[in-house]
Amino acid sequence: MELFELTLHEASDLLRQHLISSTELTKAVLGRIEAVEAKVKAFVTLTPELALEQAHQADALLAGRAEPPSPLTGIPMALKDIICTKGIRTTCASRMLENFIPPYDAIVVERLRAAGAVFVGKTNMDEFAMGSSTENSAFYPTVNPWAADRVPGGSSGGSAASVSSGGAFYALGTDTGGSVRLPASFCGLVGLKPTYGRVSRYGLVAFASSLDQVGVLAKDVTDCALALQVIAGYDPNDSTSVDTPVPDYHRGLQGGLRGLRLGVPKEYFVEGMQPEVAAVLRQALDKLSELGAELREVNMPHTGYSLPAYYLIAPAEASANLARYDGVKYGYSDQKAEDLWDAYARTRGHGFGPEVKRRIMLGTYALSAGYYDAYYLKAQKVRTLIKQDFDQAFKDFQALVVPTSPTVAFRLGDKTGDPLAMYLSDVCTLTANLAGIPAISIPCGFVDGLPVGLQILGPPFAEDLLLRVAYAYEQATTWHRQRPRI
C-alpha cells in the first residue's frame, strides 16, 4: 500500500510510533497530486513549499514524543477555496476574487494550524459555493476520480476529489444545501455537515449566512470524527456560534446500534429516483436492522416544499452577501468604466459567472418591494414547518436514515443547460440546512461502478450519535475501503 492510500488515523498511528515521518507522508501526497491532478483538477492553488515546511515542523514536534499533540499533527489535508487562509490566495473559484489574498485565517484554519495540520492546497468548487457539480468554477470543472466523464458533486467537489484521489487525507468543505454530503456520496467518502453553530463560520466567505456550515470530507468515519474534534467548538468571533460542550467524538464511536430507533421518511424516496440506487439503499436499511436498530417509516409532510423554499432563501441571502463585490473595496474591478454605475455593472457583469448572476437576480427579485411577503417571507414560514417536522420526528426516533442523492454521479455537461435539473440534485440534502440539524453521508454500495451514499440525520448537536450510527454500519461493510483507480 502507498502512503497516500492510508486513512488519517492509520497515518497518525504510524507517526506516533515513529515508523514514518510527516515529511515522507507529505512528499507521498504531493507526488500523488503531481501524478493525477492533470486528470482530476481538484485544486485551484497548491502550496507544496508551505506543506513541506509544516511537515518539518511536525516532525520536530513529534521527535521523542510518545503522543502527538493531536491526531491531525503532521497529516496533509486540503481546504475548500472559500475558507480564508492568511497569505494564501482565496478565490471562491470566481474571477471576482481571483487574486484575493486574505490578511487573516478563518477560525477553522487557526485551529488546524494549532493542531499541526499540513496544508497541501486550496480546492476547486462551484463559484461562491453555488452549484451541485463543481462545473460552475470560473477556472475549470473538477472530474470525479471514479469516472473521467462524471462530476464529483458540488459545491465542495474539489475537496471530495482531492481525498478520493489520494491528494489529501481529509479535507474541509462547506455545506449550504448539501455541498459536503453530495460530493461525499458521488466520490465514495464520508461527508459530515455539523449542526449550524457547531463550527465557526468566521473567515468563511458567505453565500447564504443562515445556511452555510463548514464540514468534513474523509475516507472513513474515524477520520471524520478526529477532524471534527479539532474544528468544533464555540467561537466568540462568530455571532451564530453556539457555546455548548463538544463531546469526545472518537470515543463515542463504539456504542453500536442495538436499541436505537431510526426513522425512514418515505418522502425522501422521491419520484425519479434511480431504481438501482433505491435498491442499494434498501439493502443498507436492511443491514442497519441486522445490526440491531429498529427501523420504522415516519411521515415528514412538508419535505416536498423544501426545494422551492431553499431556492428562495439561499438566493435572497446571496443577493445581500454578494452586494459587497462592487469593484471599489477589494476584488476584481473593471477599469474601463465611464462612471460609478457603469463601474458597478462592468465589474459585476465580468466578475461573476452565469450561475452566480442567476441566483443574485432570483434573490433580488424575492426581496424586492411587493414580492417580499409573497416569496421570501413565505419561504421562511415553510422553513419553520420543515423544522417542526424534524422536531416531531425526533420525539420518536433518535435519528433518520434517507438517501443522500436520488442518483449516482451524473455526466459532465448533462445538467449545465437545465438549472432546475441541477437544483433537484440537492432534493435529499437541503432539508438539513433549512432545519439547522447535523447530517452525515456514508458509502453504502455501488451502481455501475459509481458510489452510492446513505444519509443519516439527527437532532441538533447530535453529531456523536450520527458518527456512532455511521461507524456501526461502516464496520459491518466494506464499501468505505474501496478506492478509485486513476
Active site positions, annotated:
80, 155, 179
Rg (C-alpha) for the chain, rounded Å, is 21
Give the full edge-to-edge strand order of the sheet including 214-218. Answer: 43-46, 118-123, 76-80, 170-174, 214-218, 190-193, 439-447, 450-457, 399-403, 261-265, 294-298
Q: pLDDT for 282-293, tens place per residue?
A: 999 999 999 999
* Residues 238, 107: Cα–Cα separation, whole Å: 9
* Residues 167, 76: Cα–Cα separation, whole Å: 9
Q: pLDDT for 76-123, tens place per residue?
A: 999 999 999 999 999 999 999 999 999 999 999 999 999 999 999 999
Q: Give φ, ψ of 418 to 5 degrees.
A: -135, 90
Q: pLDDT for 248-261, tens place per residue?
A: 999 999 999 999 99
Q: Which helix (H) or strand (E) holds 112?
A: helix 107-114
pLDDT at 377: 95
Q: Which helix (H) or strand (E) holds 34?
A: helix 22-40
pLDDT at 482: 96
pLDDT at 369: 85
In 3-state terms, what secondary structure has residue 441?
strand
What superfamily does domain 3-260+466-481 belong to in CATH?
Answer: Amidase signature (AS) domain (3.90.1300.10)
One-letter identity of residue 294 = E
Q: Where are the domains of the chain?
A: 3-260+466-481
pLDDT value at 177 more than 90: yes
pLDDT value at 422 more than 90: yes
Mean residue pLDDT of the chain comes to 96
- 291 and 419 in contact (C-beta within 8 Å)? no
